[in-house]
Structure 1
Amino acid sequence: MTTLPDRPNTALLVIDVQNGVVAGAHNRDGVIANINTLLDRARAEGAPVVWVQHSDEELERGSEGWQYVPELVRRETEPLVHKTYGDSFEDTDLEALLAERGVGRLVVTGAQTDACIRSTLHGAIVRGYDVTLVGDAHTTEDFSQYGAPTPEQVITHTNLYWRWQSAPGRSGGTVDTAEVTFAAGGAG
């Protein structure tokens, strides 16, 4: 259903699962385990895997906090996109990498739910992609001291509203890790 012609492939997008981003994240270990399951499945099915890594004043490029968590291992053949904005498409080469691989559908995982995940979901659908959020493979920190809902509420709300997200010729959706498939036209 993507509006991007001749792009039948699905890619797994792993966003910002970096030491400094997920150190205090809700259900950190469970989310990372689910992402590893998805990495195994994507690789077995021959689906592209694209990694995204954020940097800013608080998350300096090259620092320990900037590094990806050691539990997730990127293969040399899997591209790494460096970003400085919430939306993984903004001022990056992500679109070009996906076009080269014929990708019209994204399966999104990572952190943080209420920032880079939401920005990238919306950025992808407005650019013509079908976008599936893996409901048990994204997380965020607790910002309730600043008036935000609890992490559980942020994750639940994002999963709920993205489940029925759509645009002309494009669809969103939320599924759990067990339901994800990378086959063309597959559910999840």
Structure 2
Amino acid sequence: AFNRAEVIANINTLVTKARSKGVPVIWVQHSEEEMPIGSEYWQIVSELSPLETEPHIRKEYGSSFEATNLDQVLAEHKVGNLIICGAQTNNCVRHTSHAALERGYDITLVGDAHTTSDMNWREYQIKADQVVSEQNLAFLNYALPGRSAKVLNVADLL
């Protein structure tokens, strides 16, 4: 994955800061046919350490909201602004960001804490850094009535 070590370090920094300030940390794991629950690729990377007391959402679709109890978990924790990071930029991060806005949440996309891998589509090779940059650009000035998105780097959030 693009900038893997840096992205993981940035996520760890965010999680540590959130925990110290009492901000809820919610973990989301995606599964699908190629990544069944319990498989090596389904696991949260070993460098990240969810606490047993932190909510854990398991999903099967790009959006973390689809067919999950994420809305309920957010309501229980009185969350109105989601700080979004993780992988894959072009799937889970993108779809969850859009779905959050459509459901009435504000979002903060952490520009240096999401990643993806290089990919091919038809005859095109798409570089991961371009996908990450496009996602950051797309959410830079994205707003819906009564909701907004912003893109900040980890240093800007601390």
Q: Deviations over 1:21-54 (max 9, x none)?
A: xxxx111111000000000110011000000001
Selected match of 2:29 from 21, 43, 53: 53
What residue identity is the alignment partner of 2:3?
N
User: CA offset at residue 180 of structure 1?
Assistant: 1.3
Selected match of 1:36 from 5, 8, 12: 12
Change (3 A) 1:30 1:50: same
Give the structure 1 partner of residue 145 of structure 2.
168
**C-alpha separation in 1, matches of 2:14 and 2:71:** 21
Greater relative contact order (CA < 8 Å, ≥ 6 in sequence): 1
TM-score by length of structure 2 reads 0.96
**C-alpha separation in 2, matches of 1:63 and 1:93:** 23
Selected match of 1:109 from 76, 79, 85: 85
Q: Describe the SS at the equivalent of 2:8.
A: helix
**C-alpha separation in 1, matches of 2:30 and 2:108:** 21
**C-alpha separation in 2, matches of 1:85 and 1:148:** 24
Q: How many residues align?
A: 157
Q: Describe the SS at the equivalent of 1:171.
A: strand
User: CA offset at residue 110 of structure 1?
Assistant: 0.2
**C-alpha separation in 2, matches of 1:113 and 1:170:** 21
User: CA offset at residue 157 of structure 1?
Assistant: 1.0
Gap regions ≥5 residues in structure 2:
none
Selected match of 1:154 from 122, 127, 131: 131
Q: Deviations over 1:72-114 (max 9, x none)?
A: 0001110100000000000001010000010110000000001
Gap regions ≥5 residues in structure 1:
1-24, 182-188
**C-alpha separation in 2, matches of 1:170 and 1:130:** 5
**C-alpha separation in 1, matches of 2:138 and 2:87:** 17
**C-alpha separation in 1, matches of 2:138 and 2:20:** 30
TM-score by length of structure 1 reads 0.81
